[in-house]
Chain A
Amino acid sequence: MEITGIEWFVLIGISAIKMGTPLLFGTLGGVISERSGVINLGMEGLMLVGALTAFVVDLRFGSKITAVCMAALVAGLVTTIHAVVSITLRANQIASGLALTLFGTGLSGLFGDRLIGETVVSLNNIPIPGFSAIPILGPIFFNQDIMVYFSYFCVVLIWFVLFKTTLGLNIRSVGEAPEVCDAIGLSVAKYRYACVIVGGMLIGVAGAYFPMVLTSFWVDNLTAGRGWIAVALVIFAFWHPGKALLGAYLFGAAIALQLGLQTMGIAVPSYFLEMFPYILTIAVLTAVTIRNQKSGASVMPASLGLAFFRGEKH
């Protein structure tokens, strides 16, 4: 069967959204956490924990919604370690994040070992009446699974909370000037804990998307570095949920294109195609950094990465 150019574009588009969705959830989680001033380099590990939890729950109980909720819950619980170590115990956030990645990779590998070979049913696509009939864009954006729709909702919700509510203002202030917040009576630690844990839960949902939609099975290191791409996307997105969506779909498209070319059996060895998303991430990160420097103004939360010491100078 011949596939026309437009059909091919739509197919890649659908796949781009699917590949981009875990990146989007992960980036949103990173945005929330980093806006409050805490870097989470544990994304890769958290995604794996979320992925395994969702897979196990889906396999044992067959409930998709429970699977996603449990993934969020367990990932939130595991992130709490990072929160305690980096907020209360004031340890280096970068090292603590790396510990989280090792911990999550180990945890998922240890408990997932016996589940290799089992499969779950993937989530169905649910067309949204009316919208899904729009040519080209309809099938790409509005004939997707429910988690994709949930991610749209999250983008809007997080944007609204961060930029249109007092809660969001407080979160951003805690990330910019914790001393000032402390002086006017905001609890820096409380906001940071909440953001790190909620962010971690979203990262867990990102992980859940892998077994529930993308693979339907479990293997060791299922997320294969996507967590790290999400870490880079937080910077790419300038800590903004809307730009996170753009970035996630751009990288989703890169991955979809790589997979598309692989199945078409073009002459480039698949190993080189596999490198493509990582190299693209490095290139884009470099371009964004250079642009940031030139414009001079940084949108990076000013206290990102710094532990808050009450009544002391850094």
Chain B
Amino acid sequence: MIYLTLEKRLNFSTWTRIGISIAAVGIALIIGGIFLFAVGVNPLTAYGMVWNQVFMDYWGWQDLMVKMIPFLLTGIAVAVAAQMKIWNIGAEGQLYLGAVAATWTALQWGDALSGWVMIPVMILAAMFSGAMWAAVPGFLRAQFGVNEIITTLLLNYVAISWVDYLLYGPWRDPGSNNFPVTREFSESAQLPLFGDSSVHLGLILGLVAILIVYFILEKTKIGYQIRVAGDNLFAAQYSGFNIKWLTLAIVMVSGALAGIAGMGEVAGIHFRLKQNFSINYGYTGIIVAWLARNHPLAVIVTAFFMASVFVGGELMQLEFRLPIAMVYLFEGIILFSVLGSEIFAEYKLKFKKVGN
């Protein structure tokens, strides 16, 4: 008899891992193609179209850069919390709260202040607001050990209801023909764009945020404490690190980063607060972080990858009238595929002869 068994790899390199992840994404695209076929779209035509109209096209690259911005920020937000094995599933809600704070400052002071003052104020407001929203589950986890996966997630629904209330109530633009949107931000509260493109300042903010996080984690004492606590909580406790404080701090930083993502969307793209301005951007941060193995710099690569999934998905939405749910389906398949492949980084498939 010949059995297929798993044998532990004695040495596995980062390159093995990367290779396996890429193979997993390839498999995910094949499986996703089957679903495309099931709804009557030829997957080869679809993928070919994405290749030509997204990657081989100036406007496509512009869309990729714009879409990448929220993923850089929500991705690093989730990855930061994951350093201490904390799951922030609430980046979506923190993103909404960041957008709310940015909108509030824009509506309040946008007409009076110049852009040089207004934009830093909006960024800080968004960070503060996202951090405070995350502080609730952060505190509950740090102080009482309440499961943060559930609390962060549930607060997303609360945040979205809150935005609905604002848009249907006090913040609705009287000139909007009853659409639930705020009035347009004044020019000083709109993020500057690169040249004549639609890529906004958020790209720089996202990249700088990632570099700062990387630096703090790698080069500072507090970053060292965070990494120790993530590796071995008991060791960290023995060393006298203040785990409660670290937990709260890291969840708040995570929320602040997601908050900036929300600001970027309202102040860099829509120039107003509106419903559904985030298409699962917070949840996508989880995939971005997971694909990057929570490594800050790798987030840049995986955020780009998820941006291409979204831009491709939006193209299919236009071309084939598929709902945006197609993108969620692809996200699920990609995550499953990458998760399922991880074992092959540590183990080899081996054929074994047993018995006669």
Residues of chain A whose beta carbon lies under 8 Å from any beta carbon of chain B: 41, 45, 81, 84-85, 89-92, 94-96, 98-113, 220, 224-225, 228-229, 231-232, 235, 269, 271-272, 274-275, 278-279, 281-282, 285-286, 289-290, 293
Contact = CB atoms under 8 A, between A and B. Distances in A.
B165 A106 contact: no
B101 to A, nearest CB: 18
B332 A102 contact: yes
B171 interface: no
B339 A89 contact: yes
B161 A106 contact: no
Secondary structure of the A contact surface, majority rule: helix
B331 A106 contact: yes
A285 B151 contact: yes
Contact of A113 (B157, B325, B339, B341): B325
Interface in B320-346: 322-333, 335-336, 339-343
Nearest to B324: A109
10 contacts: A99-B336, A105-B332, A106-B332, A110-B325, A235-B150, A271-B164, A271-B169, A278-B157, A285-B146, A285-B147
Given A99-B339, A100-B336, A271-B161, 17 more contacts: A45-B332, A89-B343, A95-B339, A106-B325, A107-B332, A110-B35, A110-B322, A229-B154, A231-B150, A235-B147, A271-B169, A272-B165, A281-B154, A282-B146, A282-B154, A286-B144, A290-B144
Contact of A285 (B150, B323, B327, B336): B150
B157 to A, nearest CB: 5
A235 B333 CA distance: 28
Contact of A232 (B137, B154, B322, B332): B154
A84 B339 CA distance: 11
Contact of B328 (A84, A106, A232, A235): A106
B149 interface: yes
By Cβ-Cβ distance, the 5 closest A-B pairs, closest first, are: A109-B325, A106-B329, A103-B332, A106-B328, A271-B165
B325 A105 contact: yes
Contacts of B324: 109
Contact of A289 (B146, B322, B336, B340): B146
Interface string B247-288: 000000000000000000000000000000000000100110
B128 interface: no
B292 to A, nearest CB: 13
Contacts of A220: 323, 325
A10 B154 CA distance: 29
Contacts of B158: 275, 278-279
Contacts of B323: 109-110, 113, 220
Given A98-B286, A100-B332, A275 B343 contact: no
Given A232-B150, A282-B154, A85 B340 contact: yes
A208 B286 CA distance: 28
A278 B154 CA distance: 6
B340 to A, nearest CB: 5
B89 interface: yes
A272 B39 CA distance: 38
Contacts of B136: 282
Contacts of B286: 95, 98
A81 B28 CA distance: 13
Nearest to A272: B165
Interface centre among B162, B335, B341 (most CB of A within 10 A): B335
A232 B147 CA distance: 9
Contact of A111 (B39, B147, B149, B157): B39
Nearest to A102: B332
B174 interface: no
A286 B141 CA distance: 9
B117 interface: no
Interface string B111-152: 000000000000000000000000011001000111101110
A258 B91 CA distance: 26
B153 A228 contact: yes
Nearest to B139: A286
A110 B329 contact: yes
A306 to B, nearest CB: 13
Given A99-B332, A108-B325, A275 B290 contact: no
B147 A102 contact: no
Q: Identify the interface centre among A92, A103, A224, A225: most chain B CB within 10 Å of its CB.
A: A103
A53 to B, nearest CB: 15
Contact of B144 (A84, A228, A289): A289
B168 interface: yes
Contacts of A289: 140, 144-147
A226 B161 CA distance: 15
B54 to A, nearest CB: 20
B333 to A, nearest CB: 6
B210 interface: no
B66 interface: no
B155 interface: yes
B335 A282 contact: no
Nearest to B321: A113
Given A110-B325, A113-B323, A272 B161 contact: yes
